[in-house]
Amino acid sequence: MGPRWKGKGSEAKALAEPMSKIVSELRLCLSRSNSKGLLSGSSVLIEASVEQTQLLNHACFGRSIVTAEKDKEWIQLGLDEAFYLCNFLKCLKIVGGDGCVKTDVELWHYSILKMEAFPELYKAYSHLRTKNWVVRSGSQYGVDYVAYRHHPALVHSEYAVLVLPDGNDDATGRLQVWSDFHCTIRLCGSVAKTLLVLHVRKNGSGTDSQMCLENYDIEEHTITRWNPQQSREDVAADTQS
């Protein structure tokens, strides 16, 4: 299943302005302004300028928050997005409730406290982001993420992403029985997405700091529904004749 572009000229726009270029512009803008984000529960809030808001939206980081303050723009980031900007792109500083800037290690432990599966989810998120995929929440489809080839205004999401950590063999694990596969694949097919399963292997590393991510591996598997109509003998016979 290939990309489904939204309207005439969308593919040309995406090719003319690749996501890697947009993210580089965002990185430069945030670094130049010494931008800071404020920890707020399981998210990070940024008071952004007009330029920063445009670039964050263009690069698909966070979402705008409507407030009564007409002269201010607020962007809400997820913890995975904030950690990517802070730790990988190194263009955002995160401030805690005490007004002090969090170190990468402090932000790492904070994120794990808020989300136990954060190490695996962030590894998957950064894995896709570094390949220039746009990654957004997939909760509305019952998956962890959805992945776009470019901005959602130009193209529909191509993959529904499930992140499976080590030890996904317990009773609460996902995709443990065929009925799980069947339901998930049917759902993905009904919304024209391919199921992408990312198996995160820790390889014996713990979660003491973000440095453990270097030892994590990811196995990618795309899973599609078998179509019996395409596998009938008469179809094969017609093809040969």
Q: What is the pLDDT of residue 183?
A: 80
Hunting for tokens 């950064």 — which residue is that? Answer: 126
Asked if 125 is an active-site residue, the reply is no
Catalytic site residue from 13, 93, 109, 156: 156
Q: What is the pLDDT of residue 3?
A: 87
Q: Residues with Cβ < 8 Å from 30, sequence gap 6 or more?
A: 52, 85, 89, 91, 92
Q: Residues with Cβ < 8 Å from 138, sequence gap 6 or more?
A: 144, 145, 146, 160, 161
Catalytic site residue from 127, 193, 202, 216: 193
Asked if 13 is an active-site residue, the reply is no
Q: What is the pLDDT of residue 171?
A: 46
Q: What is the pLDDT of residue 20?
A: 96
What is each CA distance from 116 to 22, 42, 48, 65, 181, in whole angstroms?
Answer: 31, 12, 29, 26, 24
What is each CA distance from 122 to 88, 108, 118, in whole angstroms?
Answer: 11, 10, 6
Cα–Cα dist 92/37, whole Å:
7
Asked if 150 is an active-site residue, the reply is no
pTM here? 0.88
Residue 44 near residue 184, CB atoms below 8 Å: no
CA torsion angle 162 164 165 171 (round to 10):
130
Helix (H, G, I), strand (E, B) or coil at 75: strand
Q: What is the pLDDT of residue 168?
A: 61
Residue 20 near residue 55, CB atoms below 8 Å: no
Going from the first residue of the chain to its last (241 residues), give the mean pLDDT of each consecutive group of 10, the final group possibly shorter. 87 95 97 95 93 95 83 90 97 94 96 95 97 95 94 95 78 68 78 92 92 95 73 54 48
Q: How many helices (H) and strands (E) does the chain have?
A: 8, 10
* Residue 126, both tokens: 């950064």
Catalytic site residue from 148, 150, 151, 216: 148
